[in-house]
Structure 1
Amino acid sequence: MIIVFGSINIDLVARVGRLPRAGETVLGPGYDVIPGGKGANQALAARRAGADVVMVGAVGRDGFAAAALAELAAAGIDLSHVSRVDAPTGAAFIAVDAAGENQIIVASGANAAVRATALDALSPAPRDILMLQWEVPEAEILAAARWGRARDLRIMLNRAPAGPISAELADLLDMVVVNEHEVLALGAGLGVTGEPDAVAAVLSERHGLAVAVTLGPAGALCWADGIRHESPAYPVEVADTTAAGDTFCGALAAALDRRRGYETAVEFAAAAGSLACTAFGAQPSIPHRSAIEAAAQVLADQRNPDHRRLTE
């Protein structure tokens, strides 16, 4: 089982010809209202990748709440631990340009009311996975990690948006997932500088955790137990990169929940993240397990062509 402790948002998404510079207004033809939030996105990605998922978070009592939860409910995610609070449902304001790149502003709203004490109602099994992100209060993230460690859970943190974490939190984690820019901010906060690959290797060794780094069109790498694993991206035509990182995280958690090793789990996650770039919007773009498995098999065959020939 995977427990996701994190944010639930509604995304207001506008397509534009190019992203605005500071102080500039750029016109778009319209906008879409799409469920999102890093916690919710990762929960849906893990569920579509085949895992049983519980979502712990908060929404408001406003009209956006039902829309923010709709895809999660349809996927069969356990939402009984999502609180209703007297604050507006979290919202993200997203601009996506013609190349699929984006700019995002997040208004926390109800996500600021998420509390780690909500986890006390759960009875997880040892080695279940607890997924954390950085769109709920920092103190609650640390409290959730302590809760998970006391129950022998595997704890995964996606440190996004970018920034440092405390050494205490790093030592509670089993895995951190960041992109090539976020890993530098993470490393700087823990006294490690250098190129993304080298920073990931040092953090992994120093804190005894796996460090996965997404590299956009170059794929992903992961340092764990002194071993470097890597996977190229699955080749796609990019429409929108908004949920690629969240999809990678959810698919990675789902693969690890099925007791896959890091090599095949990173490959599976890289395939999922690539597929998420082929459709517009966060949650609508998240792929299902069958599509991910097919794309991951292509990557596996590229990694080991001799095995492919033997099995054809």
Structure 2
Amino acid sequence: MIIVFGSINIDLVTPVERLPGPGETVLGPGYALHPGGKGANQALAARRAGADVVLVGATGRDRFSDTALALLSADGVDLDHVAQVDAPTGAAFIATDREGANQIIVAAGANAVVRPDALRQLELAGEDILLLQREVPEEACLAAALAVKQAGGRVILNLAPAEAPSPALLDLLDLLVVNEHEALVLAQALGWPEQDPDAIARRLDGERGIATVATLGAAGVVAWTGGIRHRLAAPQVAVVDTVAAGDSFTGAFAAALAAGKDMRAALHDGLAAGSLACTRRGAQPSIPFAADIAALAATLADQPER
């Protein structure tokens, strides 16, 4: 089972010709309303990739709550441990340009007061995976990680948005997923001079014992685990929108690990899912299903490592 402890948002997405600079207003033709939030996105991605998934989080008592949970409910994510609190449902305000790049502002809302208490109601086991991100409070993530580690499970942190975790949380991690910027933020926080994600991932694996996956956008992925390096290219796709590409990668990657796949196969699934998410607009509407992930991942299986 994958337990996702994280954020639940409603996304307001508008296409623009170009992203605005500081103090600049750019007009868009309209906007779309989508369910989102890194926790919810990764829960849906893992579920669509075939995993049994429980989401622990919070929404407000407002009209956005039902919309934020709609696709999760439709696809069979266990929502019994999502609380309703006296704060607005979290929201993200997203602009995407014609090349697929985006700017995102997140208002935490209910995510700022979410608690991991529901984990006490779950029968945690050694095969469970806890998936964390950085859109809910640090102390709550730490408590969730402690509960799962005490049960013998594994803890994965996606360091997004980019912010260094506390030493206590870092010590509980089995696996870390970062992009290039997030890797650099963490290295700087640790006082390391490395700027290359490959070198940072290697050092995290070698010195901290944290298997580390660094996503490199269109350049693919590099990962270090137990002193072994994996460097894989991403498939070429027609990019429409990069929103939720990282969440799709992380959810599908975690689902592959939960299914017992090795690191290389899990990376293939993650690359396939993240790439497919780029071919559709929106966050959760763009997250691919298991059959499509498997079909694209199969085309990557024979590629040599770089």
Could you tell me the TM-score, scaled by structure 2's length? 0.98
SS at match of 1:178: strand
Q: Which moved more, 1:254-263 or 1:121-130?
A: 121-130
Asked if structure 2 preserves the Cα contact closer than 8 Å seen for 1:44 and 1:283, the reply is yes
Q: Which moved more, 1:98-107 or 1:189-198?
A: 189-198
* Superposed displacement of residue 169, structure 1: 1.4
Aligned Cα RMSD in Å? 1.0
Unaligned runs of 5+ in 1: 305-312
- Deviations for 1:112-151, whole angstroms, at most 9, x for unmatched residues? 1111222111112212100000000111111111111111
Asked if structure 2 preserves the Cα contact closer than 8 Å seen for 1:2 and 1:51, the reply is yes
Does residue 78 (structure 1) correspond to residue 78 (structure 2)? The answer is: yes
Does residue 69 (structure 1) correspond to residue 69 (structure 2)? The answer is: yes
Partner of 2:203: 202
Asked if structure 2 preserves the Cα contact closer than 8 Å seen for 1:234 and 1:275, the reply is no
Q: Which moved more, 1:145-154 or 1:4-13?
A: 145-154
Match for 1:209: what amino acid? I
Partner of 2:178: 178
* Superposed displacement of residue 204, structure 1: 1.2
Match for 2:46: what amino acid? A
SS at match of 2:235: coil
Between the aligned partners of 1:92 and 1:234, the Cα distance in structure 2 is 28
* Superposed displacement of residue 303, structure 1: 3.0
Partner of 1:290: 291
Match for 2:67: what amino acid? A
SS at match of 2:201: helix
SS at match of 1:78: coil
* Superposed displacement of residue 190, structure 1: 1.9
SS at match of 1:177: strand
SS at match of 1:44: helix
Percent identity (aligned): 60
Between the aligned partners of 2:146 and 2:191, the Cα distance in structure 1 is 23
Between the aligned partners of 2:190 and 2:271, the Cα distance in structure 1 is 27
Does residue 149 (structure 1) correspond to residue 137 (structure 2)? The answer is: no
Written as runs of structure 1 = structure 2, the 5 A alignment for 1:92-171 is 92-171=92-171
Partner of 2:216: 215
* Superposed displacement of residue 235, structure 1: 1.0
Partner of 2:37: 37
Aligned length: 304
* Superposed displacement of residue 191, structure 1: 2.4
* Superposed displacement of residue 170, structure 1: 1.4
Asked if structure 2 preserves the Cα contact closer than 8 Å seen for 1:193 and 1:199, the reply is no
Match for 1:298: what amino acid? T
Between the aligned partners of 1:230 and 1:284, the Cα distance in structure 2 is 29
Between the aligned partners of 1:227 and 1:158, the Cα distance in structure 2 is 20
Could you tell me the TM-score, scaled by structure 1's length? 0.96
SS at match of 2:193: coil
* Superposed displacement of residue 166, structure 1: 2.2
Between the aligned partners of 2:187 and 2:260, the Cα distance in structure 1 is 28
Asked if structure 2 preserves the Cα contact closer than 8 Å seen for 1:7 and 1:37, the reply is yes
* Superposed displacement of residue 184, structure 1: 0.8
